[in-house]
Amino acid sequence: MKQRERVIMMGDCQSFYASVEKADYPQYEDRPLIVAGDPERRSGIVLAACPIAKRYGVTTAENVGTALAKCPELIVMRPRMEKYIHVSMQITNIMRQFTDLVEPYSIDEQHLDVTGSLSLFGDPDTLARMIQAEISRKTGVYCRFGVSYNKAVSKMACDNYAKKNADGIYLLPREKLEEALWPLPIRSLLMVGSQMERHLLNMGLPTIGHLANTPLSRLKARFGVNGEVLWRLANGIDPSPVNPNSHQGLKSIGHEMTLPRDYYSLETIAIPLLELTELVCRRCRDKGVMGSVVHVSCRGADFDRPSGFSRQWKLADPTNVTNQVYDAVMTLFRKHWDDLPVRKVGVSLSDLTRADEYQLTLFDERPKYQALERATDEIKRRYGESAILRAASVTASGQARDRAGKIGGHYR
């Protein structure tokens, strides 16, 4: 018996952060509104702009000053990441009322496999409208839906059509793939950024259809496995299932930090590296894992002429002890830093293993340090991230105190 074609939706929340703010502050419903970072810390970047603000030409990722020049009457809201995470989880739970196969794609996007739900709720268009209405009623957020036969095509249907439709819904069945997607410019293909677009244009592939009809061997010879990935996407091939547990398996734990100014000396850079290491190791301890591979990255302050590095080092034994990981971090940094100003640093641990099962070594100091750090972890859990800090973090180079009141670098 022929297997039934899957029906997959991609739900995307319109101007998510701005929509959440307008839902909480209805007096701004008819006003142009943006959500932006903290200008005092040189992070005054537009994170989200409502449709009214976009009509003035305001775009995400531009400077707040530029946005205000385009629209002086802009309402500028400081981001509240804790609130956005809460609403995102609320929307995911609303979707789970209609199908148990919901896979978060980002904070404002979710994949839904509704194949088994249609017999209960009707055709895909009807079901999309029901979910859309329920999300709007409970959160005040407007959600658009691309509907197709797999995750990749539903994502492209959402990005290229549903977002532009008045009702925010677009159905793209398999038989209309060539008609709907192939005429689109190559930049409209999932996973094609500006650099890849330039490469493909130089190959004489201006549209998705041109790429889809290019011999696979030519693409693989130019891009390797990525060439096949692009070819499969252009031809609407994506067998990956909607997996509600896709984000539960950890491969690595890491954090990055954009610094508020240029850091020039090893002494000043070492402090945020220590803070990041402590944060990574604490997350490892919370999750009951240790890591064997330490990864360090940094990026220079001049984004037009990028400098920096990304290197890793295999430890002799897995650990989640801050001082042990920090020794490796600084060894890597001293070896590979080019002495140019630094604006962004990152630390991660990978090759994770369970923390309750490991090989003891002679003169092993991990248990002693782990006991000490479990005590400081508990203090932070009970009294807040800034309840206990290293002395270095209260210097001018430290960022831990400021970041304690933020999520992902943004205010809670």
CA of 272: how far to CAs of 354, 392, 399, in Å?
A: 27, 9, 6
DSSP state of 116: G
Q: Where are the CATH 3.30.1490.100 domain residues in the chain?
A: 252-411
- The residue among 314, 339, 340 whose CA lies nearest residue 328 is 314
* CA 141-147-153 angle, 5° bins: 115
Q: Where are the CATH 1.10.150.20 domain residues in the chain?
A: 181-234
Q: What integer pLDDT is reported at residue 399 of this predicted model?
A: 67
Looking at the DSSP bridge assignments, the partners of residue 319 are: 291
Distance CA 180, CA 197 (A): 20
Distance, CA of 69 to chain centre: 29
Distance CA 412, CA 395 (A): 23
Contact assessment for residue 148 and residue 46, using Cβ atoms and an 8 Å cutoff: no
Kindly tell me the sign of the dihedral angle through the C-alpha atoms of 277, 355, 361, 372.
positive
Token pair belonging to 369: 């340090």
Return binding residues.
12, 108
Q: What integer pLDDT is reported at residue 1 of this predicted model?
A: 43
412 residues of the chain, pLDDT tens digit each = 456 789 999 999 999 999 999 999 999 999 999 998 765 544 578 999 999 999 999 998 888 888 999 999 999 998 888 899 999 999 999 999 999 999 999 999 999 999 999 999 999 999 999 999 999 999 999 999 999 999 999 999 999 999 999 999 999 999 999 999 999 999 999 999 888 999 999 999 999 999 999 999 999 999 999 999 999 999 999 999 999 887 666 678 898 888 888 899 999 999 999 999 999 998 888 888 889 999 999 988 765 566 789 999 999 888 888 889 999 999 999 999 988 999 889 999 998 888 765 555 555 566 666 666 676 767 666 766 665 666 566 666 666 555 555 555 555 5
Q: What integer pLDDT is reported at residue 260 of this predicted model?
A: 81
Q: What integer pLDDT is reported at residue 42 of this predicted model?
A: 42
Q: What integer pLDDT is reported at residue 408 of this predicted model?
A: 53
- The residue among 330, 319, 337 whose CA lies nearest residue 280 is 319
Q: What integer pLDDT is reported at residue 252 of this predicted model?
A: 85
DSSP for 26-61 reads GGGTTS-EEEE--GGGT--BEEEE-HHHHHTT--TT
Instruction: Tell which CATH classification among 3.30.1490.100, 3.40.50.720, 3.20.20.70, 2.40.40.20 matches the domain 252-411.
Output: 3.30.1490.100
Q: Where are the CATH 3.30.70.270 domain residues in the chain?
A: 1-175
Q: What integer pLDDT is reported at residue 390 of this predicted model?
A: 67
CATH of domain 1-175: 3.30.70.270
Tell me which fold the domain 181-234 belongs to: DNA polymerase; domain 1 (1.10.150)
Return binding residues for Mg(2+).
12, 108
Active site residues: 109
